DNA sequence: CATACTGTAATAATTTTAATTACAGTACAA
DNA sequence: TTGTACTGTAATTAAAATTATTACAGTATG
């Protein structure tokens, strides 16, 4: 799990929606999030591959939304930065112990069910909905 | 967020339930989880304060469940190791930006709702239920 | 009183995450 | 056509979080 990346990604999309029509630079975006511009460019590379963001290179270049904020759900954003929200780091238990041998599978079941539920909730919320909270 | 600790805590409780009646040492438990005994003792210190585990000091000492595994829910275990399952690490955005100033509050809302939902699911599952999966 | 445990803290090592640096590539504009 | 201001990307360093290790005092048992 890594919510730092989710926070960053959603922050980027929020700024792009609020400043719709403008091309925002990685430096401007990084200034709002308070992270390094290279990280913004990297995360945008990921979001761009999914069609959420478009970029323009060269002088005067920058970023805009690649699709309407009403068409991007938070579950899509979460999946973009993270395969399994909840599972996270597991132990590496002893395979010679009956419990150790099985527990990771059982934990995985547990979390994948919860993951689905969590993502189902986020699926109902679009970036546009989220941006409305800033009004 | 930190699921390593949840995995460790649940592993401990699972072993204690399966080996009910016996006193298990931190070394035995650590051998099954494949972590350091001092970590087991530390986590047990936490679980003992909540009444989930009892310990006996001195030679021949060790650990047993402090209450029936059917009376311990996974949501209680989760809360024992983690205040907010989902929120995790946040950024430290620029307070001079309208988005930066507000986003952490909005993220927190988002995650606290999801947290409640997640814990509500875990509330339905007891340690005993979990242990049944090993049969 | 020797032994085998727990309880707890301090420190070190490891892993993960983010920051920094660097630079090639691209578009604009004088 | 050249300087400038951007993106794209990778390599390296730094910081933060997590876990491991070590150490030892305290306690019960035989």
User: What's the Cα-to-Cα distance from B94 to each of A29, A33, A52, B71, rounded to whole Å?
Assistant: 10, 6, 24, 46
pLDDT attached to residue B83: 67
pLDDT attached to residue B38: 96
For residues A66 and B25, give the distance between their C-alpha atoms in angstroms, rounded to a whole number: 58
Q: How many domains does chain B have?
A: 1
Tens digit of each residue's pLDDT (9 = 90 or more) over A54-79: 999 999 999 999 999 999 999 999 99
Mutate to test the interface with B, among A87, A113, A114 (most CBs of B within 10 A): A114
C1' (D23) to CA (B62) span, angstroms: 20
pLDDT attached to residue A135: 86
Residue A55 lies in a domain: yes
Strand partners, A62: A56
Residue B74 belongs to domain spanning: 3-132
Q: Which residues of B touch A77 (CB under 8 A)?
A: none
pLDDT attached to residue A21: 92
Which residues are CB-neighbours of A122 under 8 A, at least 6 positions away?
A: A73, A74, A75, A77, A78, B114
Using an 8 Å Cβ cutoff, are B87 and B111 in contact? yes
DSSP class of B97: S
DSSP class of A25: P
Residue A18 lies in a domain: yes
pLDDT attached to residue A115: 83
pLDDT attached to residue A112: 85
Contact B121 A100 (CB under 8 A): no
DSSP class of A22: S
For residues B26 and B10, give the distance between their C-alpha atoms in angstroms, rounded to a whole number: 14
Q: What angle do CA B116, B120, B121 make, to 5 degrees?
A: 125
pLDDT attached to residue A87: 67
pLDDT in tens, chain A (135 residues): 567 899 999 999 999 999 999 999 999 999 999 999 999 999 999 999 999 999 999 999 999 999 999 999 999 999 999 866 566 678 899 999 999 999 999 998 888 888 888 889 999 999 999 999 998
pLDDT along chain B (135 residues), means of 10: 84 97 96 95 96 96 97 94 72 93 92 86 96 94
Contact A86 B86 (CB under 8 A): yes
Residue with minimal CA–C1' distance to D9 is A42
Residue of B nearest to A104 (CA): B7
Verify if strand D has an atom below 7 Å from the CB of A42: yes
Q: Looking at beta carbons, which pairs linking A56-64 to residues 24 or more positions away fall under 8 Å?
A: A56/A23, A60/A23, A61/A23, A61/A25, A62/A22, A62/A23, A62/A24, A62/A25, A62/A26, A62/A28, A63/A12, A63/A16, A63/A23, A63/A24, A63/A25, A63/A26, A63/A29, A64/A16, A64/A20, A64/A21, A64/A22, A64/A23, A64/A24
Residue A11 lies in a domain: yes
Residue A81 lies in a domain: yes
Residue A34 lies in a domain: yes
CB < 8 Å from A in window 52-71 of B = none
Q: Which residues of B touch A3 (CB under 8 A)?
A: 1, 86-90, 107, 111
Residue A109 lies in a domain: no
What ipTM was predicted for this assembly? Answer: 0.86
Q: What CATH number corresponds to the domain at position A62?
A: 1.10.10.10
Contact A89 B4 (CB under 8 A): yes
Strand nucleotide closest to residue A88 (CA to C1'): C16
Task: Please classify residue B32 by burial: count the beta carbons closer than 10 Å to its beta carbon, then call 0-12 exposed, 13-18 middle and 19+ buried.
Answer: buried
Chain A CB within 8 Å of residue B49 CB: no
Helix count (H) and strand count (E) of chain A?
A: 6, 2
C1' (D11) to CA (A42) span, angstroms: 14
Residue A8 lies in a domain: yes
């Amino acid at each position: 799990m890594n919510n730092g990346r989710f926070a960053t990604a959603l922050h980027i999309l929020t700024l792009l929606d609020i400043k719709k029509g403008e091309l925002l630079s990685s430096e401007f975006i990084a200034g709002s999030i308070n992270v390094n511009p290279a990280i913004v460019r990297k995360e945008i590379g990921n979001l761009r591959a999914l069609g959420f963001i478009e970029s323009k290179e060269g002088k005067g270049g920058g970023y805009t939304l690649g699709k309407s904020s009403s068409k991007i759900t938070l579950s899509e954003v979460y999946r973009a930065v993270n395969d399994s929200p909840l599972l996270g780091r597991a132990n590496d238990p002893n395979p010679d112990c009956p419990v150790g041998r099985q527990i990771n599978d059982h934990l995985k079941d547990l979390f994948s069910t919860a993951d689905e539920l969590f993502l189902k909730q986020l699926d109902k919320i679009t970036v546009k909905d989220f941006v409305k909270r800033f009004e």
